[in-house]
Amino acid sequence: MKIQSRAGFGSLFRYISRGNRAQQQIPMTTPVYMGDSEGNELLQFVLPKEFTPAITPASADDRVEVFQAKPGFFLAKRFSGFTNPKKKEKNVRAIRSLANLLGLNIIGEPIVLVYNSPYRLLFRKNEVIMEIEPALNLHQNQELKTIA
C-alpha cells in the first residue's frame, strides 16, 4: 500500500501522524518516492507491509490518496549525496543506456527514491528507477542486477 500527494511532504506526514480517518499513528518507511510514471511532481510513501487494502485507514485530507501499488519491473541506478536535477538526469541517461544495451523498453518516467532524512549530510543513498516492459527472457539474464 502507498499514499501519495501533490500537496507536498507535510500532507503525507500528517496522514502517518494520526491525520487519517482512524487517527492511527503509522511508522514512516523509506524510500520516499519523488515523481510518478507520468513525470508529474508527486510524493509517495510506502506503508509498512502489514497494511493491506482491508485495514489501511482512509485519508482525512482529500489531497492524500491511499492506493495499492501495482507490481512492475524496474531498472535502478543508485547515487549518493542530495538529489538535484543534474544528478537525476545523469542517472536517467545511464538507465536508458543500459536498457538500450539489453534491448529493454522503458515504459515509465524516472522516479527518484530518497532513503535518508534531509538532516543527514553524509553517506546519503538515493536511486532513480524507470519501469520497463516485462521481457520473456528477463529472468534468464543473471547478470542484469550487477551491470547496473
What is the Cα gyration radius of the chain?
17
pLDDT digits (tens, 9 = 90+) for 124-143: 999 999 999 987 655 555 45
Write down all domains in the chain, each with its CATH number in brackets: 1-70 (3.20.80.10), 73-147 (no CATH)
Grid cell of 80 as nine digits: 549518493
pLDDT digits (tens, 9 = 90+) for 43-94: 999 999 999 999 999 999 999 999 998 899 999 999 999 999 999 999 999 9
Tell me which residue has cell 482491508. Answer: 54
Give pTM, 2 decimals.
0.83
